[in-house]
């Protein structure tokens, strides 16, 4: 899940990078409420989440799959990788 305004961009910081390719992230745009609902539903399964951007991170926190300690940043862009 990725904030729509970040899709197609690359971010670099030291040896780390975020390459937010359209073919990986671009499926359909959903509302914040729908994102929270989907994340809550998927946390009940064996799931892997790749979450990038302020809004997507906020949805993951609200869905109770992420806490602030699990957030990284590359060039100021927040991201989290979660395996449940």
Write out pLDDT tens, residues 24-77: 988 889 999 999 999 999 988 888 999 999 999 999 999 999 999 999 999 999
In angstroms, what CA-CA distances link 28 with 11, 25, 35, 84?
A: 22, 9, 11, 23
Q: Is the pLDDT of residue 84 over 90?
A: no
Domains assigned to the chain: 4-83 (3.30.1860.10)
What pLDDT shows up at residue 45?
86
What pLDDT shows up at residue 26?
82
């Amino acid at each position: 899940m990725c904030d729509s305004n970040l899709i197609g961009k690359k971010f670099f910081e030291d040896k780390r990078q975020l390459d937010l390719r359209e073919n990986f992230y671009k499926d359909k745009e959903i509302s914040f409420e729908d994102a929270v609902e989907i994340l809550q539903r998927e946390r009940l399964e064996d799931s892997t989440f790749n979450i990038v951007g302020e809004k997507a991170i906020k949805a993951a926190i609200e869905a109770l799959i992420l806490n602030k300690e699990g957030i990284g940043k590359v060039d100021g862009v927040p991201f989290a990788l979660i395996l449940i």
